[in-house]
Structure 1
């Protein structure tokens, strides 16, 4: 029993010492990304790609609408088997249109990931450099924090590492509001 108590005290002392040696900071990655000149280029590329996908979907939709209108005009003159075949074709066109919309959304998300990955990598490298130079053991995303002192906000330092100068610090809005408990 004494051995267990001794081990517990050693563990508590060690963890307290380790925690006391920790140095924390946070950064607003989205703010840093928005300040990067390359970010505007990425947004323009994404907008162009989205417009292309949208035009393709619109063309498919118009083709479907035309086929549906033709069917509705001639359905009364069709045989039952021809009408059934045409309805099956229209249902398949509608399903293809829905699949195309889902695929377009996935393609846009994939393209966004591809274009942003190098920017996020540069941001992460800058965060790592700032953390090492400033002696931070942990750097958190500002969005994940409920409260943190503004003195531990390193977004401007990260931007400086990226060679970007800004006039003002990002709005942190991390403090606990009046009356919140």
Structure 2
């Protein structure tokens, strides 16, 4: 048990040392794409497809609900054979609705394919711009602050979002103040020679 703990501790130290030796940075992917007109246009179009497909599925379940209500209202008047046929019809409609829902919103369904068609070419532009920034700024790793990878704290000096936006030709709205290169400490401003010296005032007795 002690050996295992020692190995885990050693592994943690090695990983920490490896990361500390690298130059890291991060960007806010959501912020960048929010400023891209092509991305917003594609997202709006994707939402239209999603809403239309969702309505089609809802219409199918509305029809099933009507069939069930009609069957319940007429059940006492139906023969056993008629009941079986009506129940089979409802079951077939339910299966059809489920299959259509999976076809649209399931894993790699039509919505997923449409998203790849509309969104992926635009996000690829961001990735390529990010790669250029990494080469220009000599970064070893660039993280996405808006992804599922949780960042508890991030120093703004490591934020390269505006640099990526510049590569994409987007106008920034002073999200970051790039008065100096990220990762480089800026010396404190020296007082002007004409500024009066600081005075200390004693509290009144």
On whether the aligned pair clears a TM of 0.5, the verdict is yes
- In 1, the alpha carbon distance for the partners of 2:33 and 2:102 equals 28
1:23-58 Cα offsets, whole Å, 9 max, x none, are 211111121111111121012101210221023113
Q: Which of 128, 146, 154 matches 2:152?
A: 146
Q: Could you say which residue in structure 2 is the equivalent of 1:156? A: 162
Q: Could you say which residue in structure 1 is the equivalent of 2:41? A: 41
The structure whose residues are more often helix, as a share, is: 1
Matched pairs, number? 156
- In 2, the alpha carbon distance for the partners of 1:148 and 1:47 equals 32
Q: Could you say which residue in structure 2 is the equivalent of 1:135? A: 138
Q: Which of 93, 111, 121 matches 1:118?
A: 121
Asked which structure has the greater RCO (Cα within 8 Å, sep 6+), the reply is 1
Q: Could you say which residue in structure 1 is the equivalent of 2:175? A: 169
Structure 1 gaps, min length 5: 1-15, 171-181
Q: Could you say which residue in structure 1 is the equivalent of 2:30? A: 30
Q: Could you say which residue in structure 1 is the equivalent of 2:87? A: 87
TM superposition shift of 1:139: 1.0
> Which of 107-116 and 34-43 deviates more?
107-116
Q: Could you say which residue in structure 2 is the equivalent of 1:101? A: 101
**Deviant stretches of 4+, over 3 Å:** 18-21
- In 2, the alpha carbon distance for the partners of 1:147 and 1:72 equals 59
TM-score of the superposed pair, with normalisation by structure 2: 0.66
1:55-77 Cα offsets, whole Å, 9 max, x none, are 31133123223322332333222
| TM alignment of 1:41-80, pairs within 5 A | 41-80=41-80
Structure 2 gaps, min length 5: 1-16, 177-205
1:63-115 Cα offsets, whole Å, 9 max, x none, are 22332233233322221122122112212212322332333323323322332
TM superposition shift of 1:137: 1.5
- Which one has a bigger Cα radius of gyration? 2
